[in-house]
Structure 1
């Protein structure tokens, strides 16, 4: 079986632990190694030790007035992973905050004009998405969970747009053959998402006064985004 590493960029311990479990379950692996970038810098040895890397979400944002030294270092490490995937050394899937890091690295624009609240949403696959090894099985559309304050109106130079919707035009793209990036969260079930909401109740992803209503709507949703990570595991195995 191919070796896959989960890279964590969440400062909240409980949310990070839960996200780790979500990725392990969605990937369909009995165990999943973890690297917390907020605690320790990336070591170059991981590029020899792992065939694939999945990067979780974060309350960090690319669009900020000033980045701390820690955030700058974290983003430099994420860019190192992206370059390795672009070079074909491994396969990687960037999600949530980290899609913005990759977009900026490639010369694209990340802004605050296309946020999405905490909810389930439908995304449409592009013609490239319907032919993609990971996304094709979900054509013509996917139901996914999302919550973000920033995003992009168009993919960065060199990226192939795989999925879109009216609210946030760049939902997923591929760079080369082995780098994937999603604005949405492919790892979570509705229950996972509601559990995560407790950690971010007052951080601007939803109206805290409508917590119960938002949670009720999320729990009632039917999503199929987690299928993507199972296919990513198979893709990594095929490439290794």
Structure 2
């Protein structure tokens, strides 16, 4: 892996990069995927152009059960200090918040399915959300949240879980929601997390149907967020940025 690659940290097979990987390949971004839960080593910091930290069913404080969580948190703390561009999704955002000195706790309620989030004044000015509407739908699946952002700046809020997106420094971002997800991924999560689905009394076909009804918009939002992040990270060549943006504008 050469300098400037996009590295993807994955914590469970079913929670992959989804649409984000599709767009990265389409735009010619060099990618390396690391199965952290399988013991694959984290890259040297100098090898990384940007990092995408994905979700997972584990909690950030389960370091005794998942020892690699501690190593990953330390790695992210160093990445923040060095100004390496980071996008953390769900668990990834929670790990980033913890690494930055924030706090992760149980949410006031689980969020599973489509929810609406709203940009804060800071979010409306942030390049990560350039081109986004004030309010937009997102897919959620989480029971924990970054309740204290430490030095982070809140970029998006929602209900019942208020903290939905934040920035630490200038290049490290965490989001609670899953814009990367596809319909096939949701169906896989329903099977993988069947015990939780049963416990929460989820109507799975309704869950999938609501997602499908907004899928074209969700795909556009995913592409725009990912385009914005890779642009901020300096991962897109100038000619590819122009071509890509035409495909993901809302």
Classify the TM-score, shorter chain: 0.7 to 0.9
Q: Could you tell me the TM-score, scaled by structure 1's length?
A: 0.82
| 1:52 and 2:45 matched | no
> Alpha-carbon deviations, 1:128-177, whole Å to 9, x = none?
11111111321312221111011144x42210110001211110000001
Gaps of 5+ in 2: 238-250
Q: TM-score, normalised by structure 2?
A: 0.79
Contact kept? 1:20, 1:34, Cα under 8 Å: no
1:75 to 67, 70, 74: 70
Q: Is the 8 A contact 1:164 1:171 kept in 2?
A: yes
| Alignment partner, residue 128 of structure 2 | 134
Within 5 Å, give how 1:221-232 maps onto structure 2. Answer: 221=214, 222-223=217-218, 224-226=220-222, 227-232=224-229
Structure (1 or 2) with the greater strand fraction? 2
- Quick check: 216-225 or 227-236, which moved more? 216-225
Question: Is 1:172 equivalent to 2:165 in the alignment?
Answer: yes
Consecutive unaligned residues of structure 1, counting only runs of 5 or more, are none
- Distance change (3 Å), C-alpha of 1:2 and 1:29: farther
Aligned counterparts, 1:75-154, within 5 A:
75-88=70-83, 90-153=84-147
- The partner residue of 1:233 within 220, 230, 234 is 230
Residues 62 and 110 in structure 1, CA contact (< 8 A), matched pair in contact too = yes
Asked if the contact 1:110/1:152 (under 8 Å) is kept, the reply is yes
Instruction: Say if 1:219 and 1:7 are closer, same or farther in 2 by CA, change over 3 A.
Output: same
1:163 and 1:205 map into 2 onto residues whose CA distance is 30
Q: CA deviation at 1:86?
A: 3.7
Residues of 2 paired with 1:68 and 1:2: CA distance? 30
Aligned residue among 181, 198, 213 for 1:188? 181
RMSD (Å) for aligned C-alpha atoms? 2.7
Shift in Å, 1:191: 4.6
Counterparts of 1:136 and 1:43, CA distance in 2: 31
Q: Quick one: structure 1 residues 23 and 109, their matched pair in 2 at CA, closer, same or farther if it must change by over 3 Å?
A: same
